[in-house]
Structure 1
Amino acid sequence: MAKIISFISRKGGTGKTTNAINLATMLFNLGHKVALIETDTNYTLSTLRKMELFKTGAKDESIFKIIGSEDQKVIDDIKNLDDTVKLDYVIVDSAGKTTDESIRKLCVESDAVIVPTSLTQNDLLVTYQTVEDLKPAKEHNNQLKIIILPNRIHSLTKSKTVKTALEDLEVSILDTIVPAKNLYANFSTILPEKEYLNATKEIIEMI
């Protein structure tokens, strides 16, 4: 059965989409069978994938699927995927707020929920609130891993500084830091970003 990794946050702009696609492309590059579901009805990743297929001439069937869904439909879409294709990982780039019933259900179904955050005061506050919203899901799924992903961190920031800023959250925190670099923001839906390898390996080990 596929491992479900969901990117969730109370607010937009924290890096859910960027990290979801970087994780998916790297997992696929490592030989895993992957599908990515995005629930933002703008379907940014689905549109970008179509553009990349057109420009590169790559065949859609040769790479992992990107599926457009909605928060209230995503559980059914995951189950339908599991019935038709044998996958190793399903990555969910969610759009809804953590207080939405559909997002809470997604947490219960997930093996891991990843919350990206920078170290700005506003993002840290949002991350704390997000984690508090997500913790009750562990009462229904005691195997659920809630993971903080330090994102858009200045390259000179030490790991200890990041850990200290996030330690009050009392959940797992990635040792790997995703720095504030354009190469992560200018992502591909086909080609992996090699610098994302360490983050990917650590996420796999955690779940």
Structure 2
Amino acid sequence: MSKIISFISRKGGTGKTTNAINLATTLAKLGKRVLLVETDTNYTLNTLRKMELFKVKDGLANFEILGSQDHQVADELAKLKEGKKHDYIVVDSAGKTTDEGIKKLCLVSDAVVVPTSLTQNDLLVTYQTVTDLSPARELNPQLKIIILPNRIHSSTNVFTVRENLKNLDAIILPVIVPQKNLFVNFSTLDAEKEYQPVAQAILNYLA
């Protein structure tokens, strides 16, 4: 049965899309059967994929990208999960996901990843997001709520990161995504090898 990993946050700009695509490309590079689903109706990743394939001409996509919408994605995921066609389904949820959409997405997900920087605004949003997600664990006891420290300055040590996130009722990943262009300027075709430790840290909680 497929494992569903959903990236959720109460605001845009926290790194949902960049981390969703970096995770998907890394998993595909590791030989996993991957599907990426985006619920932003602009379908940014689908557009980027088409542009990349056009440029390389002979390039082959090693995983599929599907577009969906907030109000229907959970039902679609439930069917895809039972289909056993994929090892992992990665969901890039929209920045304006509704309360109902978040609840339904949590009920079908194995893990919810909340990316956050250490800025005050992002931290406040992250606390609110985790608070909103927590009740879903009563209905889905297997659900893992995971905090991914994202866009962390290279001079910031892990202790400082954990100190800023310690009051969150969630799993804090023991790795960080540094503030580097290579993670922001992503590709839907090529994996960024430096992302592999982050991907592995997420997978450790889905074993």
Question: Would you say 1:191 and 2:190 are equivalent positions?
Answer: yes
Contact 1:98–1:104 (Cα < 8 Å) also in 2: no
- Aligned residue pairs total 206
Per the normalisation by structure 2, the TM-score is: 0.95
Unaligned runs of at least 5 residues, structure 2: none
Match of 1:124 in 2: 123
3-state SS in 2 of match to 1:176 = coil
Unaligned runs of at least 5 residues, structure 1: none
Match of 1:50 in 2: 50
Contact 1:98–1:134 (Cα < 8 Å) also in 2: no
3-state SS in 1 of match to 2:166 = helix
3-state SS in 2 of match to 1:92 = strand
> How far, CA to CA, are the matches of 1:181 and 1:167 in structure 2?
24
| 1:47-67 Cα shifts (integer Å, max 9, x gaps) | 00001111112455x510000
Equivalent positions of 1:97-108 (< 5 A) are 97=96, 99-108=98-107
- Identity fraction in percent: 65
Q: Which AA in structure 2 matches 1:77?
A: E
Equivalent positions of 1:72-87 (< 5 A) are 72-82=71-81, 86-87=85-86
Q: Which AA in structure 2 matches 1:72?
A: H
3-state SS in 1 of match to 2:174 = coil
3-state SS in 2 of match to 1:90 = strand
> How far, CA to CA, are the matches of 1:133 and 1:97 in structure 2?
14
Q: Which AA in structure 1 matches 2:142?
A: Q
Cα offset, 1:98, TM superposition: 5.8
Match of 1:38 in 2: 38
Q: Which AA in structure 1 matches 2:5?
A: I
Question: Would you say 1:146 and 2:145 are equivalent positions?
Answer: yes
Per the normalisation by structure 1, the TM-score is: 0.95
Contact 1:40–1:69 (Cα < 8 Å) also in 2: yes
